[in-house]
Amino acid sequence: MASVTGTSISMASFKASLAPSSRVSTLRSVSLPINGKSFTPLRLRPARFRVSCSAKPETVHKVCEIVKKQLALPDDSAVSGESKFAALGADSLDTVEIVMGLEEEFGISVEEESAQSIATVQDAADLIEKLVEKKGSA
């Protein structure tokens, strides 16, 4: 997707420009050398295995859908667990609308303190599962 590869390319060449021997002409290539390691754009990287209390992929997916809807992003936009709300352009009103959407979708209630600490889609998904679990065991 344009936005993801765009970000990763500019980040990569941004860092690459600090090194004296960087070759910025490699902007268009898929694999960019950074510190001797090959840097693969996010969408081609295999899914990282996340340890411990991590939300189910279905939950992450639902959160992505709600976020895309709120921010009016096209269906094929690159929103994943790692996506930061701020980087997607969500302002405070978007964020509280997203929280409200998540509460309705999952039947939970999110407190302001918890909502404030959500920075990524994954954070939201993890919080949702924690609240759903707590609700289930109550």
Q: Give the interface with another protein as residue ranges (CB under 8 A).
A: 2-4, 6-7, 9-11, 13-14, 17-18, 24, 27, 69-70, 78, 83-84, 87-89, 91-93, 96-97, 100-101, 103, 111-113, 115-116
Kindly state the greatest CA–CA separation across the chain: 60
The distance of closest approach from Cβ of residue 105 to another protein in the complex, given in angstroms and rounded to an integer, is 12
Identified catalytic residue from 91, 94, 123, 126: 91
**What distance in Å separates the CA atoms of residue 88 and residue 82, rounded to the nearest whole number?**
11
Catalytic status, residue 91? yes
**Residue among 52 and 74 whose Cβ is closer to another protein:** 74
CB of 97 closer than 8 Å to CB of 40 = no
Taking the least distance from each CB to another protein, the nearer of 2 and 53 is: 2
Nearer to another protein, 70 or 122 (CB): 70
Q: How far is the CB of 117 from another protein (least distance, A)?
A: 9
First to last CA, the chain: 42
Burial class (CB in 10 A: 0-12, 13-18, 19+), 66: buried
3-state DSSP call for residue 79? coil
- State the minimum distance, in angstroms, from the CB of residue 51 to another protein: 24
Nearer to another protein, 60 or 88 (CB): 88
Angle 42-75-124 from CA coordinates, rounded to 5°: 65
Residues involved in catalysis: 91
